[in-house]
Amino acid sequence: MISSATAVPAPQGPPPAARAVGLNKVYGTGSARVVALDAVDVDIPAGRFTAVMGPSGSGKSTLMHCLAGLDRPSGGSVYLGATALDTLSDGQLTDLRRREIGFVFQSFNLVPTLTAAENIILPLTIGGQRPDAALLESIVAALDLAGRLGHRPAELSGGQQQRVALARALVTQPQIVFADEPTGNLDSRTGGRLLGLMRRSVDEFGRTVVMVTHDPVAAAVADQVLVLADGRLVDQFSEPTVDQVLHRLAKLDRTRG
């Protein structure tokens, strides 16, 4: 038995929703070789809102794709909850993504032949499930989509398509939502509403949200900010304000020359 003097204290609080340990990602070979992620260690706390920032090409999307099991790392490990993703077959990974993860990408990935309503419930339809009617109604109302449900993506504005994509990400009640520049193409009012909904999904429904953004106003809605540069995690801070985000990014610019 280990004496109390030598026992390692148990970690406090819930385990992280996602974790990267020594994460490496290399694309290409020879002169085309790019180290997109270089020994990145990050914890994504459960039930919190994390923003990922950094210059263009710093590895933000790659980190998110690896954490979400969309891309296999070149080295290191990724955990979703207690599950090590490298122990899963491609089929098991697809299953896990469908059950546990919601995605909101810049390109929306909506199915052009389906209506907004059909797109929103698609992840459930694929799994042979029906949506929780009350939840669906509250998401549609919060995103102001009630009047557009019968329209196909080509008949919707960019902002409306973005909101349909977010509704689709939330309707399965995933443990964790990954959003890549979700407000990138939106006017400030629509972007603010979308951020508010993601914030509410954390505060009221205990979801975990990870969002890549270049926008300090969007990042300030998060609980913590991770900053990448050249494939490395170079800064991390909690309870961000817009001024603080601007200040830390300016400091990063100066140190990188």
Alpha carbons 116 and 216: distance in angstroms, whole number: 30
For tokens 């991770």, the residue is 226
Q: Which is nearer to ligand ATP, 47 or 57 (CB)?
A: 57
Tokens describing residue 111: 């199915």
Report, in Å, the least distance between residue 82 CB and ligand ATP. Answer: 26
Report, in Å, the least distance between residue 179 CB and ligand ATP. Answer: 13
Cβ atoms of residues 73 and 82 within 8 Å: no
Alpha carbons 221 and 212: distance in angstroms, whole number: 12
Q: Which is nearer to ligand ATP, 70 or 122 (CB)?
A: 70
Q: Give the Cβ contact number of residue 83 at 10 Å.
A: 16
Cβ atoms of residues 168 and 98 within 8 Å: no
Alpha carbons 179 and 195: distance in angstroms, whole number: 11
Q: Which is nearer to ligand ATP, 160 or 224 (CB)?
A: 224
Q: Where are the beta strands (DSSP E) in the chain?
A: 18-27, 34-44, 49-53, 75-80, 83-84, 101-104, 176-180, 208-212, 224-229, 232-238
SS3 208: strand
Report, in Å, the least distance between residue 61 CB and ligand ATP. Answer: 3
Cβ atoms of residues 59 and 87 within 8 Å: no
Cβ-in-10-Å burial (0-12, 13-18, 19+) of 114 comes to middle
Q: Which is nearer to ligand ATP, 38 or 100 (CB)?
A: 38
Residues near ligand ATP (CB under 6 A)? 27-28, 34, 36, 54, 56-62
